[in-house]
Chains A and B, each alone.
Chain A
Amino acid sequence: MRLKTPREKRILYTKTTVRWILYYLLIIVFFTIMTSGTYTKPMLLVPAAICIAIGNDVMAAAVTGAVCGFLTDMACGRLFGYNAVLLTVFCVAASLIFELYLRNKFANYLWITAIASFLQCWLDYKFYYQIWDYENVSRIFYHVSMKVWVYTVIASVVVYALYRLINRFLMPKEHLTIEEVIKTA
C-alpha cells in the first residue's frame, strides 16, 4: 500500500474519530429505547454490536461487544458482565468470520445477527428462567424470548441501515496505486 500524505492521515484520523463517536451515540440511543416503557422490545444492542464488529478489526469488535453487553445487562437487570461476555464472544466471532470467510453483505449480516440474537435469547431463557423450573416456564420462551428474537431480527434491518449510512460517509477506503492494481490483477 502506498504511503499516506499528512493531509490524508489527518482526514483519516478525523473520519475515524467521528465514525466512532456516531457509533457510540447510536448505542446510547438504542440503550435509551430499550430502557423505556413496559412493552416487549427488541434487543437493539445485539445487532448494533454485530454491525460494528463486522466492519472493524477484532479488538474494536471485542470492546464494542463488551460495552453493548454491559449496557444490555443494565437494561435487562442481569448479572453485570453476563451479556458483556456473550456479546464479546459473538462480536469477535462475527468479526473474524467476516474477515476470513464472508463478504460484508446485508444477507450475511442478517443471518449472523439472527443466530447471535437467538443464542442470546435462548441462553437468557435457560439461565434466568428455565434453570429455576418455574411452573409453565416454557411460556416465557415462546411468549417472551421468541417474541424478542423476532423483534430483534426485524429491528436489525434498521440498525444495519443506520450503521451502513455512517460507514458510507466515514469509513476510510483503501487506495491502491496503479502498480498495486496491476500486481493484484
Chain B
Amino acid sequence: MREFLKSTRFKVLLGFLAFLVGIMIYAVTKGGYSLSGASFVQTATKPFRYVSNGITMRFERITDRISHADAYYEENQQLKKQIGELNKQLTDYDDLKEEVEELRKLVVIKEQHPDEVFSQPAEVLGYITNDPFKGFTIDKGSIDGIKPYCPVITPEGVVGITIEVSATTSTVRTILSPDLSIAAVCSSTNTDFGIVEGTVLTAEKGTTKLTHLSPDHSLKTGDLIITSGNSGLFPKDMAIGTVRNTGFEANGLSACAEIEPCADITRLGSVFVILDFTGKKEDADAAKDTP
C-alpha cells in the first residue's frame, strides 16, 4: 500500500482526480450551460442516441404490452365507460344549454310583458299533415296549465292560438288560418286599425292579411303590425308581422295589407303559450276577434 501511495500511478490518479474536480468546479461556474466538450459529444452522438432510443422504446412498448395486457384491457374498458359517461354528460349539457337559451328568450319576453303568465317552452311535436294553414301540435297540455284559446307566441311574435288541448299536447291554429282573427294596429301610427286574418292565397305564401283597414290609411311597406288587445284574446302590443304591400279589398270599400309574420310559422322549433294576462277574456267565442 505504502508503495502504491508513493508510486507515480497514484500521483497520476490524484492529478486526474484534481482535473475532474477542476472540471466540475468550472462546470458550476458556467451557470447551467454544458462545457464545450460535453456539448460536442452530445451533438455528435445525437443521431445514434435518437435511433437507439427509438428502437429501445419500441421494444419496451412491445414487452410492456405483452406483460401488462390484462391491465391495459381493464384500463381500456374503464376508459370506454368513462367516454360513455362523458358523452352522456355532453348530451345533458347540450340539452341544458338549449333549455337555458329558451329560458333566456322567455326572460326577454317576460321583461317586455311583466303582467303575463307564460308556460314552459313548448316543443313543436309536428305539423298537422297536409294542413294548408300550417297548424301544429305542441308537447304541453292541460297539465301544464294550457287551456283552449290561449295565445301562442315566439320571441319574434304571435304565432297562433290553442284550439284543442289534451293532457299532454295541444293543437295550435296559426295566424295563417282564416279561422283566426286578431285585432291589430300599426305600431308606428297607432291609428290604423284592422283585423289580421289568413286567406287561402296568403297562406300559400306563408303570409297573412290585414283587412278592414280604412281606405285613407297611412300604412307603408315595412310597418310593424301589433295586437291591439281590445278583445281579450291576445295581450296588447305583441308583434304580429310587417306590412309587405297594401291594396284594396275586392269590394273597394276598405283597404287591406299583406302581412309577413314576424315568426317563421313554417319552421317553428319551440313556442311559448301565454296562460294568463291582464284583460283576458275566458270565452271561446273570442277566437273571432274584433278591433
- Partner-B contacts on A (CB < 8 A): 34-38, 40-41, 43, 75-77, 129, 132, 134-137, 139-140, 143-144, 148
Bin the interface of chain B by size.
Answer: 20 to 34
A77 & B135 in contact (Cβ 8 Å cutoff): yes
Q: How far is the CB of A143 from chain B (nearest CB, A)?
A: 7
* CB 8 Å contact bits of B99-140 with A (1 = contact, 0 = none): 000000000000000000000000001111111101101000
B178 touches A134 (CB 8 A): yes
Give the residue of B127, B137, B178, B266 whose beta carbon is less than 8 angstroms from that of A132.
B178
B96 contacts A by Cβ under 8 Å: no
What residues on B are CB-neighbors of A144 within 8 Å? 130, 132
Scoring B128, B132, B267 by chain A CB atoms within 10 A of each residue's CB, the highest score goes to B132
Once the chains bind, are A41 and B201 in contact (CB under 8 Å)? no
Query: Is A140 a contact of B200 with CB atoms below 8 Å?
Result: yes
Interface residues of B (CB under 8 A from A): 125-132, 134-135, 137, 164, 171, 178-179, 199-201, 204, 266-267
Contact A139 B201, beta carbon cutoff 8 Å: yes
| With A38-B134, A77-B171 as contacts: A136 and B201 at CB distance below 8 Å | yes
Chain B residues within an 8 Å CB radius of A76: 128-131
Q: Do A77 and B128 touch (CB < 8 A)?
A: yes
Contact B130 A40 (CB under 8 A): yes
Given contacts A139-B204, A143-B204, 18 further A-B contacts (CB under 8 A): A35-B125, A36-B126, A37-B127, A38-B266, A38-B267, A75-B128, A76-B128, A77-B129, A77-B135, A77-B164, A135-B178, A135-B200, A136-B199, A139-B200, A139-B201, A140-B132, A140-B200, A144-B132
| Chain A, residue nearest B134 (CB) | A38
Q: Is the CB of A134 within 8 A of B129?
A: no
CB distance from B209 to the nearest CB of A (A): 10
CB pair A41–B200 under 8 Å, yes or no, is: no
In the complex, what distance in Å separates the CA atom of A61 from the CA atom of B131?
28
Complex CA–CA separation, A148 to B128 (angstroms): 14
B128 touches A136 (CB 8 A): no
